[in-house]
Amino acid sequence: MKTREIILDTAHRMFLDEGYRKTSMRKIAHKAGLTTGAIYHFFSNKGEILFYLCYRVVTELYIDVRNIYSREDLKAREKLYGYFCLYRAMYQGQRDNYRLMTWAFSNNEELDMRPELMEKIMKTRVEIIKLLEKTVEEGIKEGIVKTSDPHKFALYLHLVVQGFFITYDNGVMEAVNVEMDEAFEFVCGVVGIDKN
């Protein structure tokens, strides 16, 4: 494994286990078996490390969304449902990545991440919403989506997906004895994109 990847993997684990504030560049170096200088050769600070961790996750999500939405054999409903399913798969299969990403976006004022790096992540997230918007427009043509504003509808779908998993992650659904799959299918049905 390359040094840069060792640093990223080590920092990823430490950010989740010890918290961002308690994790220092020196601690990352020690845990990775590297010198502090070696880390600074690749990253200017831990905010930059966090950026690359988050950017990797957001970019992978964008590629997955683009791959689903470029499929001509799928109807708009299947594509929109696929978007929800991508988030569910990431949440269930790569929960650490999901939690790190959502934590970083909700606490970015605490981070020493350069604004241009946060802007790069934001641009990728906006591209995801643009893909959603195109699919909402397809859904309007197919008669499954009823809206006069595809842009806002796409944004609201994105917010519903984000809110769903944040709510689940915060333990609300568990506290009221609702299983994820049950809630997931219900929410998809409410927004009109269930798998049927």
**What is the CB neighbour count within 10 angstroms for residue 184?**
21
39 and 53: one domain?
A: no
> Is 196 a domain residue?
no
- DSSP 8-state code for residue 2: -
Domain of 130, in residue numbers: 45-190
> Is 13 a domain residue?
yes
State the pLDDT at residue 106: 64
State the pLDDT at residue 179: 87
- Which burial class, exposed, middle or buried, applies to 80 when counting CB atoms under 10 A from its CB (0-12, 13-18, 19+)? buried
> Is 96 a domain residue?
yes
The C-alpha atoms of residue 126 and residue 169 are separated, in whole angstroms, by: 23
Residue ranges of the chain with pLDDT lower than 50? none
Mark out the alpha helices in 94-179 (DSSP H runs): 95-106, 115-142, 150-169, 172-175
The C-alpha atoms of residue 26 and residue 146 are separated, in whole angstroms, by: 54
- DSSP 8-state code for residue 108: G
Tell me the per-residue pLDDT of 10-39, one tens digit each, with 9 for 90 and over.
999 999 899 888 999 999 999 999 999 999
CATH of the domain at 74: 1.10.357.10
Q: Are 158 and 127 in contact (CB under 8 A)?
A: no
49 and 34: one domain?
A: no
> Is 142 a domain residue?
yes
49 and 36: one domain?
A: no
Tell me the per-residue pLDDT of 124-150, one tens digit each, with 9 for 90 and over.
889 999 999 999 999 999 998 889 999
If one counts the domains in the chain, the total is 2
> Is 195 a domain residue?
no
Q: Which amino acid is at 62?
A: Y
74 and 151: one domain?
A: yes
72 and 134: one domain?
A: yes
CATH of the domain at 34: 1.10.10.60
